[in-house]
Amino acid sequence: CTKFLEEEPASFLTTDQYYKTEEQIHAAANGTYDGLNMPFASEITLAASPVYALEYITGYSRRPRPTGGDDDQFLLLQNIQNSNGRFETWWNATYIPIENCNSFIANVSQTSVVNEETKNRFLGEVYFLRAYYYFRAVRLFGSIPLKTEPTLNLDNIQIGKSPIEEIYNQIVSDLQFAENAGLPWTDKSGRVNLAAVKSLLAEVYITMAGYPLQKGANYYQMAYDKSMEVINAGEYSLFASYADLRDPAKNNSGEHILMNQRDQKNATSIIHFHFMPYPEPSKPVSVIPNMGGSMAPTTAFYDSYAADDLRKQEKQFFFKVSNTPFIYKFWDDEAEQTSRSGANFPLMRYADVLLLGAEAKTMVDGGTTQDAAALDAYYSVHKRAFPSSKRPSSISTDDVLKERYWELCFELHTWFDMIRTRKAFDVENDRIVSLIGFKAPNHNRAFEEKDLLWLIPLAEIQANPNLK
């Protein structure tokens, strides 16, 4: 009767049936992109999502709609605990997709189902994504387990932490594989492309140069060189207007190097409706006004923009309701027609790469630079905000950092900039200051050393005491 009791599932595949065709490999590669969207798709409640924690912690944003404990810990920098569910979401959004990558790499590296060229291209995408997930996590959590082989059974599953440097080395090596995997410079469909690989490598180098590894000038130089490779390739350019950033027709091209891919019908985005003003104005600004209030700039941050900064003008990066600024940067016109937002969320922009290159060069040159390429990079971003401004003859690191705050705000970059530079933007006094000791506008207290790393979630420590 053993035959009678055998299970033969019909609606899903099991692992021993897989990696037999090119189509299966393709589908599995697509599956490894899942981690880009995971934080946006997990634990969504009314106007709340774990993604905003990454901005709440900077202290430059506020949450118009009242909330409970977990978000308040970041919003107020108060009493942060490892039981906070936001940590768990970001942790899971790291290791679940990494397992998909590990499994893909282990299986496809050995396959002969596809030719070497195709195989390398798929592997390149997946190596890039594994590096992306580890890079995100190592910056958030510091020393974490490094796992590059798939889990096959329940033996030895409680692995310990690896040194931060070891994780960076893995990231660099994965990215270097991707760099040589034959990926195209651009990909309109939104897949990983060579520019994304090199841009990420530039960001990895500049982060390694700064905190916590402090590898210094060499790495700043490498970061500068990598960004220059992207810039000099000429495949990407800044959009002429900020509105283009929101134009779905311009997705995955122009200024957008890598985006989180969404679609209006079935893969909707939470961002547009979550950023609606709250309390709901008596005259609604949106077809769905009651989902808003998740995040808005603090007045202090909004006021830090110069009056003539184009980004500050109404309906560029912000809009005002009852004299209170709200975020307009991700406004989705189509969503207002269809009640569903299918807008992509930018993960890597060309403006980011330009500023990264410029910043790296200032660091190489001791705090200010007159390097023409660096000046061009900085100036192209600055000029879009201030069309009548003149090209400066030199720029300082602080100039570039401030520009990053203004240009990249609420795109989930700011916190990473703050911890790798250990600097903050004192918006009230218009100056870059040391992060430790700085009290951000929305926080109850100043940053301390312990705030710089997120806590390994309690649930994970309970399941793996080695992570205590």
Partner 1 sequence: QGITLVARQALLSDIFASIEKQSDYTFFYNDQLLDKISKVDVNIKDARVDDALKTILQHLSLDYQIKGQTIFITEKKQVSTDHLQQFRVQGKVLDEEGKPLPGASVKLRGSAKGTVTNAEGAFTIEASSGDVLLVSYIGYTEKELVLTDSSQLTITLATASNSLDQIVVVGYGTSRKANLSTAVGSVKGEELLERPTAQNLLQGMAGKIAGVNISLNSGKPGGNPAIKIRGTGSINGSNTPLYVIDGIVGADPTTIDPAIIQSVDVLKDASSAAIYGSRGANGVVVITTKNGDPNTAQIAFDNTLSFGSLPRELDLLDANESLEMFKRQYEYVPGRLAPHLDPDNAFKRKDDLFNSDGTPKYQVNWQREATRVAVSHQHALTFSGGKDNIKVLANISYRNNQGIMLNSYYKQLNGFLNLDWDVKSWLNIKANINAGGYQSNNIDNNTLGLNPLRETLEYLPFLPVQYADGTYSRKGDYPGAENSENPVKLLNEVKNVTGRSQSLGNLMATFHLTDKLDFNTSVSGQLSSGYTHYYGGRTVYDVGENQQGVAQRAHTDFGSWTTENYFSYNQSWDKHHLNAVAGASWYYYVTSTDQAGAEGFFDDYFQDNNLGTGTTPQIPSSGKTENQLNSYFARANYNFDDRYLLGASFRVDGSSRFGKHNKYGFFPSFSAAWRISQESFFKDMNTGINDLKLRASYGIVGNAEIGDYVTLNRYNNGQAVFNNNYESAVTLAGLGNPDLRWEKAKQLNVGLDLSLFQGRLLLTADAYNKRNDDLLYLRKLPVTTGYTNVFDNIGSIENKGIELGVNAVTMKKGDFTWSTGYNFSLNRSKVIDINNDVIYPWFGRIIAGGPLNEFFGYERLGVWGTGEAEEAAQYGKKPGDIKYQDTNGNGAKDADDRVNLGNAMPKWEMNMTNTFSYKGFSLFVDLQGAYGNHVISLARVLMVNPGPNINSFKSILDAWTPEHQNTMLGQLRVNSDGFDNEGGDSFNVEDASFLRIRNVGFSYQFNKDWLQKIKLNSLVFGVNVENAALFTGYSGYDPEVTSFDAALNQGVDVYQYPKPRTISFSLKTSF
Residue 199, SS3 per DSSP = helix
Q: Is 91 in the site for partner 1 (CB under 8 A)?
A: yes
Q: Is 337 in the site for partner 1 (CB under 8 A)?
A: no
Of 252-271, binders to partner 1 (CB under 8 A) are: 252, 261-267
Residue 42, SS3 per DSSP = coil
Of 12-51, binders to partner 1 (CB under 8 A) are: 12-16, 18, 23-24, 26-28, 30-34
> Quick one: which of 22, 43, 99, 235 contacts partner 1 (CB under 8 A)?
99
> What is the spatial distance between Cα 330 and Cα 343, in angstroms, rounded to a whole number?
8
Nearer Cβ to partner 1, position 363 or 455? 455
Residue 56 corresponds to which tokens in the numbers above?
């709440």
Of 412-451, binders to partner 1 (CB under 8 A) are: 444
CB of 179 to partner 1, least distance (A): 22
> Quick one: which of 111, 114, 148, 150 contacts partner 1 (CB under 8 A)?
150
CB of 80 to partner 1, least distance (A): 10
Q: Is 117 in the site for partner 1 (CB under 8 A)?
A: no
CB of 298 to partner 1, least distance (A): 15
Q: Is 188 in the site for partner 1 (CB under 8 A)?
A: yes
Looking at 74-82, 357-365, 369-377, 434-442, which segment touches partner 1 (CB under 8 A)? 74-82
Of 291-310, binders to partner 1 (CB under 8 A) are: 293
> What is the spatial distance between Cα 75 and Cα 266, in angstroms, rounded to a whole number?
31
Any idea what DSSP says for residue 186? Answer: -
Q: Which sign, positive or negative, has the C-alpha torsion 67, 73, 78, 80? A: positive
CB of 405 to partner 1, least distance (A): 27
**Partner residues linked to 267 by β-bridges:** 263
CB of 154 to partner 1, least distance (A): 7
Say if strands 296-297 and 423-426 run parallel, antiparallel, or are unpaired.
unpaired
Q: What is the enclosing helix (H) or strand (E) of 184? A: none
> What is the spatial distance between Cα 30 and Cα 32, in angstroms, rounded to a whole number?
5
Q: Is 103 in the site for partner 1 (CB under 8 A)?
A: yes
Q: Is 282 in the site for partner 1 (CB under 8 A)?
A: yes
**Partner residues linked to 369 by β-bridges:** 395
Decide: residue 79, CB within 10 A, 0-12 exposed, 13-18 middle, 19+ buried: exposed
Any idea what DSSP says for residue 244? Answer: G
CB of 155 to partner 1, least distance (A): 11
Residue 201 corresponds to which tokens in the numbers above?
């490598």
